[in-house]
Every structure is written in C-alpha cells, then in structure tokens.
C-alpha cells in the first residue's frame, strides 16, 4: 500500500489564546509523520474559523502564508461546531486519502494520529477515538456525560461511549457522508450508520492548556436534543404511552366512583381529588406538547433547505 495523504480538520471558535500553540504542535507532528513516511507530503492541517470574533482567522491566515502544512477556511458566521466540522470534511473530499478531525484545544492526544493511520492502512475506513477516562472533566460534566450516554441508549440511539469527534474517515467514507442532506446534524450518530469497516483507538485526554471551553451547559443541552430528535422517536412514543396510561387510570377511577356510589353510597368529596389530577394531567399534556413541538420545529427547519454553512474564504481552492 502506498503512503496515504492525510488532512487534519480542526474547527475553531474564538481560540486565539491556544491557536498559535495548536498550529505549531500539529504542523510539527505532521511534518514528523511525513519525514518518517507514515503519510506523504500532500498532507495538511485545515483550520476552520467558525465565525470567531477574536483574532482566530488572522492567526490562521498569517500562519498559512509561512507554513506549507497549514490551510484555512473561514465561515461567514458562527454555524456551530458540527456544521463547521462538516464544512472542513467536505472541503477536503477528494483532496486526500483520509481525514482526521481533532479539537483545537490540544486536549486530545495527537500521538494517536499515528495509530489512526495504522488502522487505516489495515483496511478500516472509519476509526473512532475513544477516551480512556474522564479524569480531566469536572464532576458535573462527568455526571451529565454518563446520563447522556445512558439516555441515548435507552432511546435506542447507537452511540459509541466516550467518543467525541476525534476520528479518522477515509475519502470513501467522506463521499458517503456527503450524501446526508439533513440540517439537524449529529455526526456521532450519523457516522456509525455509514457502514464500511470501522475500528476504535483509545487515547488519553489532557487538561486544557489555554482559553476556555466553548461548550456551555446550554450548548450541551442543545447538542443532546439534536442527538435525540435526529435519531429517535422514543420521546413521541413515551407521550403516547403516558396518554394510554392515564386514560386507563381515569377509567379505573371512574369505575371506583361508580361502585362507591351505587353499592356503598360513600363517595369521598374534596378539592384534592379533583385539583391534583387536573394539575398532573395538565403538566403531562404540556410536556407532551413540548416534545411534539420540538420534532415539528426541527422538521420545519429541515423543510427550509437552508445551507448548513457558508464559506467566506478558503485557502484550499
């Protein structure tokens, strides 16, 4: 097998504090892989500026002019991490043999890249990085992450536990991914559905060296909702099940009242027996309407067919 060409895709959003170090480390490591003939000289690192408002694009464009391994892509505004990542993957399509996506914060161990390439050379089209543990996460993030994976499993969504977006995809797999036109993008769920030969690589996660995580609690909640609504209709079935359950409970309550009235002449009166069920059923109805509304809203957004990203500048062209 000939030495493959590699594209490293790195989404960035307001990463000016860590970006110079990231560029230096990734380009230096890429050069060492080229010199050791793990990958060929056509390889590069593509940094995607996802509508940053700091100096992220300025740093990328300046480095691109003096570093042969650096390329840049600037989106017209902030489209979100998943869309930014997709823009980089599709921009690299047919330009390299395989693509590895990695975060800009240097927390994912770059030394695993060599292991990814080894798996690719063994015939795997998709290789997913799985973190060994969550020691670097806060207690809250560990708890919410475990809850997320457990919930997704209960919803019937096939997710690889502790896998983020550190993965290798062959050009063939990227071409297959490009056929997915949905706007509600959840790559962790989409990639396993592509098929082809898939493998995993374990790696360690380091502490963030500079800057702050851009995944706020609200963004993580939105990300989880995207995953659930993209790949599962279990919440809708839950609403139906709750409706059936409380219909049966209501019929049993009606039967109880009729028996008490006609056989024992002993019907309990009081506001609690009326008000509590009303509040309970009202809350369940509002919850059901909210879940249905979430699906309807996402269907409405999908029907518009708006672009998932708009490229303002691209040094690959």
**pLDDT classification of 47: cutoffs 50, 70, 90:** very high
pLDDT at 46 over 90: yes
CA angle 74–76–78, rounded 5-degree value: 90
65 plus 117 within the same structural domain: yes
Domain count, the chain: 2
Residue 223 included in any domain: no
The answer, yes or no, to whether residue 49 has pLDDT greater than 70, is yes
Domain match, 191 and 50 both: yes
263 and 197 part of one domain: no
Asked whether residue 191 falls in the same domain as residue 81, the answer is: yes
Segments forming the whole domain that contains residue 139: 6-212+307-314
**pLDDT for 121-172, tens place per residue?**
998 999 988 887 766 666 666 776 677 777 777 766 677 777 778 889 999 9
Whether residue 229 is contained in a domain is answered as no
Residue 217 lies in a domain: no
What CA–CA distance (Å, rounded) separates 78 from 198?
Answer: 31
Q: What is the mean pLDDT of residues 265-279?
A: 59
pLDDT at 257: 62
Task: Tell whether 242 and 290 lie within a shared domain.
Answer: yes
Question: What's 206's domain CATH number?
Answer: 3.90.550.10
Whether residues 240 and 176 fall in one domain: no
Mean pLDDT of the chain: 77
My answer on whether 203 and 284 are in the same domain is no
Q: Are 150 and 228 in contact (CB under 8 A)?
A: no
The answer to whether position 228 is within a domain reads: no
In a domain, 240, yes or no: yes
Q: How large is the average pLDDT for residues 191-211?
A: 77
**Residue at 26 is within a domain:** yes
Q: Is the pLDDT of residue 79 over 80?
A: yes
pLDDT value for 164: 77
Cβ neighbours for 103, distance < 8 A, ≥ 6 positions apart? 10, 11, 164, 165, 166
Please report whether residue 201 resides in a domain: yes
Q: What whole-number distance in Å separates Cα of residue 81 and Cα of residue 223?
A: 10
Q: What is the largest CA-CA distance in the chain?
A: 93
- Which two structure tokens, joined as six digits, stand for 241? 């099940």
254, 118: one domain: no
Q: State the alpha helices, DSSP H only, in 160-233.
A: 171-177, 187-194, 217-231
Q: Which helix (H) or strand (E) holds 62?
A: helix 56-66
What pLDDT, on a 0 to 100 scale, did the predictor assign at position 258? 62
239 and 206 both lie in a single domain: no
Same domain, 289 and 156: no
Q: Tell whether 220 is covered by a domain.
A: no
Distance of CA 255 to the CA centre of its chain: 49
Contact 198, 229 (CB under 8 A): no
Of the pLDDT bands very low, low, confident and very high (cuts 50, 70, 90), residue 48 is very high
Q: In this structure, are 200 and 242 located in the same domain?
A: no
Give the pTM: 0.69
Domain co-membership, 133 together with 194? yes
């Amino acid at each position: 097998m000939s030495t493959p060409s590699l594209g490293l895709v790195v989404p960035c959003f307001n990463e000016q504090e860590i970006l110079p170090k990231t560029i230096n480390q990734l380009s230096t490591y890429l050069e060492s892989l080229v010199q050791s003939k793990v990958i060929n000289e056509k390889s590069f690192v593509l940094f995607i500026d996802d509508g940053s408002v700091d100096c992220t694009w300025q740093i990328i464009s300046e480095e691109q002019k003096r570093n042969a391994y650096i390329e840049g892509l600037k989106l017209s505004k902030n489209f979100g991490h998943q869309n930014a990542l997709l823009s980089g993957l599709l921009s690299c399509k047919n330009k390299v043999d395989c693509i590895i996506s990695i975060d800009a914060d240097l927390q994912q161990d770059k030394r695993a890249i060599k292991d990814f390439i080894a798996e690719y050379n063994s015939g795997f089209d998709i290789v997913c990085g799985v973190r060994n543990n969550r020691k670097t996460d806060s207690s809250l993030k560990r708890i919410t992450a475990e809850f997320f994976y457990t919930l997704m499993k209960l919803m019937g969504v096939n997710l690889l536990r502790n896998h983020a977006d550190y993965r290798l995809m062959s050009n063939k797999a990227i071409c297959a991914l490009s056929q997915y036109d949905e706007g509600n993008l959840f790559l962790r769920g989409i990639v396993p559905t592509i098929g082809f030969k898939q493998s995993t690589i374990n790696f360690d996660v380091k502490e963030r060296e500079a800057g702050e995580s851009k995944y706020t609690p609200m963004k993580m909640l939105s990300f989880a909702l995207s995953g659930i609504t993209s790949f599962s209709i279990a919440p809708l079935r839950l609403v139906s099940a709750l409706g059936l359950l409380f219909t049966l409970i209501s019929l049993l309550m009606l039967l109880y009242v009729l028996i008490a009235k006609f056989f024992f002449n002993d019907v309990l009166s009081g506001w609690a027996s009326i008000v509590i069920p009303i509040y309970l059923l009202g809350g369940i109805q509002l919850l059901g309407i909210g879940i249905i509304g979430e699906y309807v809203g996402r269907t409405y957004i999908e029907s518009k067919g708006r672009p998932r990203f708009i490229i303002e500048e691209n040094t690959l062209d």
